[in-house]
Structure 1
Amino acid sequence: MFHERIVRTVLTITVGYLIVLAIWLGWLVQHTPPGTVPYQIGGLLAAYGSALGLGMIWADRPPRADRKLERRGLEGWARIESTQRLAETADHGQLTELRLELTVPGEESYSGRVVYEVPASMREQFVPGKTVPIRVDPHNRDRIVLCP
């Protein structure tokens, strides 16, 4: 998860909403037809909630470099040699260091390690001996992304 990006997005949208609310309260509400203020407040709250939802969806996407690697990286697989749990995450996942034997077709196998947040629902897939699909940067073999 990209918690820092989500927090920044929520703060930015909230500040923007407060600015819009201040403009509405300071100037626009005086020029509105009588009896429409409750509907305007409902519309402002709905717009804020929609902006928050869309912003959080956008902020939770992987970074552009990871998305590009998932699309254009070389396909391969990694056999998990060992795992070491580092920490519990806020959404009940586990930050885990994985030691891997990486294989890309047409190239020599090599060892590597990656720190990965393993979701609670996928813990049985990330045990020593299991194989997971990966994508490898063709220009930097040390840059990989897991594709479970």
Structure 2
Amino acid sequence: MTTLPNGYYAAIDPANPDTVTYWRSRAGIVSVWPKRAWYGPARPLKRDAPADADERIAWLREWNAGYVKWLQAVHAVIDQDPAAARHRFAELSTRCCLCGRPLSDDRSKVLGVGPDCREGLSEDMLAQLVTPAIAAAHAARLSKEGTAR
């Protein structure tokens, strides 16, 4: 996996296209977001483990190999187009794709980047971050929130 810039990313689960997984990159380490989320193959349960120690070790190694393969597939999706993964995060979460904080003002929601993170960015860079899909997703969410009140 290449070194991703610090920030937040969303990727379609390669094993289940109906599921979106969320990730955070910090200092070259990519981890799930939020911190305790679980994505991918179901965790192995102790009750399902074989009684024999050698069989149990083989069973766990097989599960781990499948999980690592799934994890590599997700990271490949993010590596293939990190900008799209950031867009997807901002579209689906109404959070800043750079720092992960909730977006509160309308301009931030359209851009997908909060005011503090926008300070050092040029207009050209902001234009690369924003997509019509982000704006539409946030407008739809705002209208739902407005009618719910």
TMscore range, shorter length: 0.3 to 0.5
> As a proportion of its length, which structure holds more strand?
1
Query: Which of structures 1 and 2 has the bigger CA Rg?
Result: 1
> As a proportion of its length, which structure holds more helix?
2
